[in-house]
Amino acid sequence: MSAVLTPTSRAGAPAGFDINRFLVRFGLFFLLAALVIVFTWLRPSFASAGNINDMLRSASISAIMFLGLTWIIAAGEIDVSFMSVAALSTMIVAGLVSAGAGWPLASLVALLAGLLVGLLNGLLVALMGLPALVITIATGGLAGSIAAAIGKGTSIPMATTGFAGALVDANLGLVPVLAVLVALLYAGAWMLQDRTTFGHYIYAMEQNRRAVVEAGIPAGKLLFLLYVVSAVLSSVAGVLLAADLSSGQPYIGSSYFIDGLTAVLLGGMALKMGKPNMVGTLTGVLLLAVLLSGAALLGWTDSQRQIVRAALLIAGVALVVWTRRKNRVRI
């Protein structure tokens, strides 16, 4: 009968300090701190109150968009429609507001559109068992095409930003109110993922879906729910983006594609060694916000920033694959 070999059983003595494991688990936090120090040293304006406020505001909107994606990837699936859903929401809000509708109605319609995309993803992937990558590419393309059609390929400006604009602009000292709300949201999500059977089921689905089903856990319904949550949260982020930009942007989703995957995959190395988690995703979002803000202050071109983002995504994927292989070779 095979047995799991631990460092203690192999060496016959307690395992020593594993520097590689320590760096993988906490390296993202060290990198974030290092970037803050370096950018502050190179450009003191980086640490100004206005810049910190802007970074936290943009990071908060991104964090809302990527929360649902974290759970889907943790469950062993993928969703590449999240950014297109956000873009669609910005265009629905802008189109309705510019036509004379109020912000509450426009926001409700945008959220309903996101809900429909989530239901469609959940139906096709979770209940019908179709490939998640193919399906979410298709639904993302559909959402993006509708977004472009609403504005006939151009953005739609808005004269007012309503209650969403007031929320985005509100501050508690240096900290945006939105950042406080997102911190509370992630705290609740962390509790669900790390302290309840809900989170255990998510991780179990990635490890062995068949075993989860055989144990009587409704894996299909759970995955269906995750796709719905991801799409609705992306719509919420889209509404906030529309308020933040005072316009609907049909193609803004493309800028969030790499950021979303990078934040979740690179963040998945933090603390849990290859398992996407709330703390890691939030740290990854802050890392990207700091990097983009610092790069802009240093005068980096857009192509240079894209290269760095792509390199971070590659690093995240490579680290996840490496840690999972290392954890499986223990028999």
Cβ pair 127, 220 in contact under 8 A? yes
pLDDT tens sequence across 93-122: 999 999 989 999 999 999 999 999 999 999
Residues 6+ apart with CB under 8 A from 183: none
pLDDT value at residue 327: 61
Q: The tokens of 330 are what?
A: 């223990």
Nearest to 110 by CA among 243, 222, 224, 223: 243
Q: The tokens of 64 are what?
A: 């809302």
How many whole angstroms separate alpha carbon 178 and alpha carbon 184? 10
- Tell me how crowded residue 252 is: count the other CB atoms within 10 A of its CB: 21
Question: What's the mean pLDDT in 46-50?
Answer: 92
As a whole-number percent, the residues of the chain with pLDDT over 90 amount to 62
pLDDT tens sequence across 253-299: 777 988 999 899 888 877 776 788 999 999 999 999 999 999 989 88
Q: What is the DSSP letter of 13?
A: S
More confident residue, 322 or 302: 302
pLDDT value at residue 269: 76
How many whole angstroms separate alpha carbon 81 and alpha carbon 251? 13
How many whole angstroms separate alpha carbon 86 and alpha carbon 84? 5
pLDDT value at residue 310: 82
Residue 42 confidence (pLDDT) above 50: yes
More confident residue, 315 or 49: 49
Element (DSSP H or E) covering residue 176: strand 175-176
Residue 6 confidence (pLDDT) above 90: no
pTM of the model: 0.90
- φ, ψ of residue 318 to 5 degrees: the values are -60, -40
| Banded model confidence at residue 16, pLDDT cuts 50, 70, 90 | low
What angle do helix axes 162-169 and 103-121 make, rounded to 10 degrees? 90
More confident residue, 178 or 218: 178
Question: What's the mean pLDDT in 196-212?
Answer: 86
Amino acid letter, 201: Y
- φ, ψ of residue 171 to 5 degrees: the values are -135, 150
pLDDT value at residue 249: 92
- φ, ψ of residue 247 to 5 degrees: the values are -165, 165
Percent helix, strand and coil across the chain, each to the nearest 5: 75, 0, 20
The CA-CA-CA angle for residues 274, 255, 190, to 5°, reads 35
pLDDT tens sequence across 149-199: 999 989 999 989 999 999 999 999 889 999 999 999 999 999 999 889 888
Residue 323 confidence (pLDDT) above 80: no
Computed from CA positions of residues 101, 102, 104, 106, in that sequence, does the dihedral angle turn out positive or negative? Answer: positive
pLDDT value at residue 328: 56
> Which range, of 106-120, 126-140, 209-223, averages the lowest pLDDT?
209-223
- Tell me how crowded residue 329 is: count the other CB atoms within 10 A of its CB: 8
More confident residue, 20 or 130: 130
pLDDT value at residue 70: 95
Residues 6+ apart with CB under 8 A from 175: 53, 56
DSSP per residue over 254-282, as a string? HHHHHHHHHHHHHHTTTTTSS---HHHHH
| Banded model confidence at residue 325, pLDDT cuts 50, 70, 90 | low
200 CB burial (10 A radius; 0-12, 13-18, 19+): middle
As a whole-number percent, the residues of the chain with pLDDT over 70 amount to 91
3-state secondary structure of 298: coil
Cβ pair 232, 123 in contact under 8 A? no
132 CB burial (10 A radius; 0-12, 13-18, 19+): buried
User: At which residue do the structure tokens 């995750």 appear?
Assistant: 226
